[in-house]
Chains A and B, each alone.
Chain A
Amino acid sequence: MKTLLFLLLPFIGLSQATIKGKITDKKGAVLPGANIQIEGSYDGASASEKGEYSFKTDELGDKILSVSMLGYKPTNKKIKIEKGEIQQDFILEESINTLNAVVITAGTFEASDEKKMVMLKPLDIVTTAGGGADITAVMQLLPGANRVGEQEGLYVRGGSANETKTVIDGMIVQNPFFSSTPDVPQRGRFSPFMFKGTAFSTGGYSAQYGQALSSVLLLQTQDKVSDASSLNLNANLAGLSASYTHKGSVNGTLFYSNLAPFLGLVKTNIDFEKIPEAIGASLTINENLTKNSTLKIYGTYSDNVSGLRIRSFDKPAESSVFSLRNKNFFSNASYRSTSEDGNWVFLSGFSYSYNKDLIKTGNDKGDRFDERTQGRVVLNRLFGSEKSNTISVGAEYHAIRSGNIFNQFDLNLKDNYSAVFTESEFYFTPKLAAKIGLRGEYTSVIDRFNVAPRISLAQKTGQYSQVSLAAGRFYQTPEKNYLYLNRTLNYELADHLILNYQRIKDNRTFRIEAFTKQYGQLVFEKTAFFDPNPYRFPTGTSDNSGKGFANGFDVFFRDQKTIKNADIWVTYSYLDTERKFRNYAAQVMPTFASKHNFSLVYKHFIPTIGLNVGATFTATSGRPVYEYGSDLKNPIWTPSFQNLSLATSYIKQVKKHFIVLYATLDNVLGRKNVFGYRYSSDGKQRFEVQPLVYRTFFCGVSWSIGKLDRKPREATLDMD
């Protein structure tokens, strides 16, 4: 036996081969830890710190030697293994992954659960002091947004509020805010908790969207994540709500709001004839139909009433009542399916919305309504390494009806809007990406057609930094108030050019973006004299001779590292803008624009006692005001706006009960901010536009019952 072994031993030695080599990337950097293997056998080795490997094998003959390494494309080579030493080096190519892939960031500010390059997450929205858990209010703290205190909406880089469109799962939301009342800004209709992701575009956005000269706010609704049932009850100074989720897929919510307790605490600058009161309900169905397809349906209805006493600017002792009743219905259904191999993604959506405002101002009766039915289909084809490249084609169709009745006047509008678009996003290398898109639109009410190109590029400049560029043309159908009287108008347009630099490392983000925007074909109205009333109805003849520009830059810094459990963001935006539009007879800075916008947000979580505290400071330089009948040459300026807000919340879980208490104090310093001026009809008297209240206190409680294991941090801080 021993002799046999003895005889065999030399054979083993003789029949062995040694394979060795070096593994590097394309630039020659060594790749320690790479795995080298002879296919079908256990024989192989890991590359050393120097990227070198060496192993002995008995597997002689024609074999395949394969190499794999995390973050690189696997490769292999046919080799003939013979006794002795074989040298085989490999050069590996990087695969596209979250570590090395550049992301197009020019013009977009993304907040989502899934994307890695996130800036702001949905939870950040509700924990921001001064944001009031309102998506738009928090977006106003981001770079590019101009703060306007007396009206709702997002004013982006010199654009007016109606140049920003809110989009939910690809569908335009016609009435994203509660109906406007004079000089009292309204909240958004949607709770931040409905959405898994929020992308705020400050320009140069994708060809998938249109009809917004300045910006789109893209909201993506939550997916079904669990089968748990739960009940949530909320009470605060403005109302009550109850919400029940059945097995994670069906949610029903009822709410009643009444501002009486809130307004009772403080002295308001506006007298209410009827304290705002609302009742509403919503239903959400969220189901994963198969492994590769999902269906989401959302519907909501609300009915609001309010009445405010507005002083007469002509006879200051007198006042009249502005009363509003609003009925709003919004529904949205979307279906998504992915092919088995993941190469095709099909998206379709349908939405119907209806909004009616019954308005009485003194003895004048007004009645506004909007209705929009829209459908959308998009087909995406994914291809290339790690399916990182995409080609999309899509189409949308909207049937829009709107009307405005004012005493004896009855104005109506019917528009059929259709659009087709195609877009491709591809990686030349993991470090260089481009997105090219083209959008064509037809608007029946003006019988016009447009084609808008969009392009963006991004290049990684280091492991953590990148530059990105976006450019494109954007069209928008004129505002309906002009279309009621003039159907010969053409689209308004804007050309954007944006350059962005971003660096993200260790929970610190730095971002700087410069932009230039050229407006053309803006609607201009000839009037005999200048009337500064923003709520006026156009009366003069109109054409597309308006134009303008907006140039500027903004800086954003966020730090979640320096102070443990703290989150700090600092934003500064500079804006230089002028335009000739609406009833502006000359090209001047619009009244909603401000040159300097600054905000500082601080949040601190104290885990041991479950307490969250935060403060937000904002400052905005004065805005121009043009006096009644002025030639617009010498504006007067409002004082600068400043606000310091505090917020705190406390969370406690007892078995299946989860309780959140929260309180906010707005304008702590009690600064008497002025948003602008209103004039008497002879132009001789001037009145300040003041906030609803100078200093507000707000508090509430949220109570959830249900399966709530593993709930970390400020998870259900629902402040609505």
Chain B
Amino acid sequence: MKRILLIVSILILKVSVLLAQNPNYAKAMEGLVTEIQSTRFGTTLQPQANKMERIAAAEKVEWLPNYWVAYCYMMESYVEKDDDKRDLLLDKADVFVANIEKMKVTNDETEVLKANIANARMAVSPSIRWMKYGSVVEKALENAKKINPKNPRITLLEAQGVFYTPEMFGGGKAKAKPVFEKAMQQFATFKPVSGMHPTWGEATAKWTLSKIAP
């Protein structure tokens, strides 16, 4: 009996070590995710990125902290003015995307994130990089659609793609408008899995639509 108890308790111990998650995980994440998503564009996300990176380092099996670190650095690259530094920030974002890949996690949000990073790479030098990164964006969004066609962030990125393509290349405001409207409809019904999952994008869609409206 004693032996059985011992084995059971060792097993329990082992399992609990495996699942050892900081009891504060969900709480810390939710607070930080809210903070990140409500930060105004143009404000640095470096402190949030640092906090998120600490959580990612401690929770080695969770993809979400890695997602958010990458997201922060992607956003940060738009704030930075020096082109070399922008690439450096995106190199850092890529490290965390690679972490997610190592966990063998793929879902619509990670694919949207990859598209986002490729967009940011392209933004550094559009006329030179469109060829390489344009197709990366397309492929990632295609993959995301296969997993969850109702994800509004896919539609938002597509809409932005049209919006920022000059009219003579088949883009422009008028053509982007219905796509943004579709994104808005999807945002209205979208329910995130948890408070740690991404919900960003609706404000951007709304803001861009207000710029299009005559």
Contact = CB atoms under 8 A, between A and B. Distances in A.
A544 B19 CA distance: 80
Contacts of A712: 126-127, 130, 165-166, 169
Interface in A88-106: 97-99
Nearest to B81: A506
Contact of A710 (B22, B91, B137): B137
A165 B2 CA distance: 84
B134 A37 contact: no
A194 to B, nearest CB: 14
Given A33-B46, A113-B132, A715-B130, A42 B28 contact: yes
Q: Which of A42, A45, A99 has most chain B Cβ within 10 Å?
A: A42
Contacts of A43: 54
Contact of A709 (B55, B83, B85, B161): B161
Interface string B34-50: 00000000000011001
Interface in A640-668: 651-655, 658
Interface string B145-189: 000000000000000010001101111000000000000000000
Contacts of B165: 709-712
A116 interface: yes
Interface string B125-151: 011111110110110000000000000
Given A42-B22, A97-B88, A653 B169 contact: yes
Given A97-B88, A228-B135, A113 B54 contact: no
A35 B53 contact: yes
A35 B130 contact: no
Chain B: number of interface residues, binned into ranges: 35 or more
Nearest to A605: B127
B24 to A, nearest CB: 7
Contacts of B135: 225-228
A33 B127 CA distance: 32
A710 B169 contact: yes
Contacts of A40: 57-58
Contacts of A35: 50, 53-54
A714 B126 CA distance: 11
B189 to A, nearest CB: 27
B134 A709 contact: yes
B170 A123 contact: no
Given A46-B46, A710-B130, A70 B54 contact: no
A357 B134 CA distance: 44
A486 B200 CA distance: 77
6 contacts: A42-B28, A42-B51, A46-B47, A610-B166, A655-B170, A658-B169
Interface of A: 33, 35, 37, 39-46, 66, 68, 70-71, 97-99, 113, 116, 121, 123, 225-228, 607, 609-610, 651-655, 658, 708-715
Given A116-B83, A116-B87, A711-B169, 10 more contacts: A42-B24, A45-B50, A98-B84, A225-B131, A227-B135, A709-B138, A710-B138, A711-B130, A713-B166, A714-B127
